[in-house]
Structure 1
Amino acid sequence: MKKILLTTLCLIGFLGFQNLNAQETENTNGPNFPKLDTSPMDMIIHRDQKDEVIMRVIYSRPQTRDREIFGKLVPYGEVWRTGANEATEITFYKDMEIGGKTVNAGTYTLYTIPDEKEWTVILNQSTHIWGAYEYTDKQDYVRIKVPVRNSSQKIENFSMAIEQKENEAGANLLMGWADKYIKVPFSPAG
């Protein structure tokens, strides 16, 4: 009886060791990284002609995925985080002029209020915000209105880009998704 019990315990111990060893082998084959976010984070940087950084924008890029975007997923007339996940963050490394208003160098949260014909673009002084849930207009630094434009091609992921103005020191921050986009004009202050 002792031999059977001892053999059984040894067998259980051996099988348990083999199972533990197999788990260790799986974990040593490489780290268990999470899958790509469905709205991955992205960043754009704008440099001047001297290659100095003027502006950086960090934002997340939600996908259209056959959904109606503006007026439905992103309601008209409501503050939007301008992307997904954390609210979009914009940093100016020099004082800038945006829509005729001077903005001091610093980091701001970039919110928008989309509407059918124009968007309100907001630079807000609260930073490191998730979504627009904690938005308050008491922290707004600048608000400007820009017209909505129709895109000639479908924009699957919410996207931003910089468009250099011809024969001028400034540029446009382009923001587009689905079949719409806007241009936010900015230039060095002074």
Structure 2
Amino acid sequence: MFARSIASLACTVLLATASLAQAKPVLSPPETATVALDGKTIAIKYGAPSMRGRKIMGEVVPYNEVWRTGANPATTFVTKANLKIGSATVPAGSYTLYTLPSKTEWLLIINKQTGQWGTEYHQDRDLVRIPMKGTTLASPQEKMSISFEKTRGNATELHVRWENTDESVSITAQ
């Protein structure tokens, strides 16, 4: 009985090990960016795709078309604070974040629909569209990222980076 239990356990361990060895890496792993402004949390959850040898801006991310700003499920934007993003007012709540990239300017889109797949977009649900400030990265960034930076008190900057692009906008808790 004891020998059979040991053999069964060994077989289970071998199968689990083989299964892990065959598991494929997630191409666009889930990531989260968070910040606290005046003690209230802002969180963005997104899928982080990689370049993998592809041309990104203007191809994988087409210009002049709404982009899900990440991969897989829609990028969620949840704020516990009322915000001023750029010059736009965004009340505390749950939203979906999209962008509208172009060669000369990006717009950050805060959309009121939530829970959908990333490619499902309805413009009539837009809360605001906010111009972003663009800069060129010195060297290509392989994995797309969303981050909060230069946080001080009730203010921060939201950055979206990928390939040679860094798009940002200021955020202030109200």
Q: Same fold (TM over 0.5)?
A: yes
Match of 1:75, SS state, is coil
TM-superposed CA distance for 1:148, in Å, is 2.1
- State the percentage of identical aligned residues: 33
TM-superposed CA distance for 1:147, in Å, is 2.9
Unaligned runs of 5+ in 2: 1-6
Name the structure where strand makes up a greater proportion of residues: 2
Residue equivalent to 2:172: 187
2:150 to 141, 148, 164: 164
Residue equivalent to 1:87: 74
Within the alignment, does 1:106 sit opposite 2:93 as a pair? Answer: yes
1:152 to 138, 141, 145: 138
Q: 1:67-91 deviations in whole A, cap 9, x for unaligned?
A: 1101011110001100110111110
Q: Give, in whole Å, the separation in 1 of the partners of 2:151 and 2:138.
A: 20
Residue equivalent to 2:107: 120
Amino acid at match of 1:164: K
Q: 1:108-160 deviations in whole A, cap 9, x for unaligned?
A: 0000011111111100011111122x211110011111132101122100011
Q: How many residues align?
A: 166
* Contact preservation (8 Å) 2:37, 2:155: no
Match of 1:183, SS state, is strand
Which TM-score applies when normalising by structure 1?
0.78
Residue equivalent to 1:11: none
Which TM-score applies when normalising by structure 2?
0.85
Q: Give, in whole Å, the separation in 2 of the partners of 1:104 and 1:26.
A: 55
Q: Give, in whole Å, the separation in 2 of the partners of 1:164 and 1:147.
A: 15
* Contact preservation (8 Å) 2:37, 2:173: no
TM-superposed CA distance for 1:35, in Å, is 3.4
Unaligned runs of 5+ in 1: 1-21
Match of 1:118, SS state, is coil
Q: Give, in whole Å, the separation in 1 of the partners of 2:13 and 2:151.
A: 52
Greater RCO structure (CA 8 Å; 6+ sep): 2
Structure 1 residues 175-184 or 144-153, which shifts more?
144-153
Q: Give, in whole Å, the separation in 1 of the partners of 2:106 and 2:128.
A: 13
Q: How does 1:30-41 map to 2 (within 5 A)?
A: 30=16, 32=19, 34-41=23-30
Q: Give, in whole Å, the separation in 2 of the partners of 1:27 and 1:74.
A: 44
Shift of the 119–26 alpha-carbon distance from structure 1 to 2, 3 Å rule, reads farther
Match of 1:138, SS state, is helix
Amino acid at match of 2:37: D
* Contact preservation (8 Å) 1:147, 1:182: yes
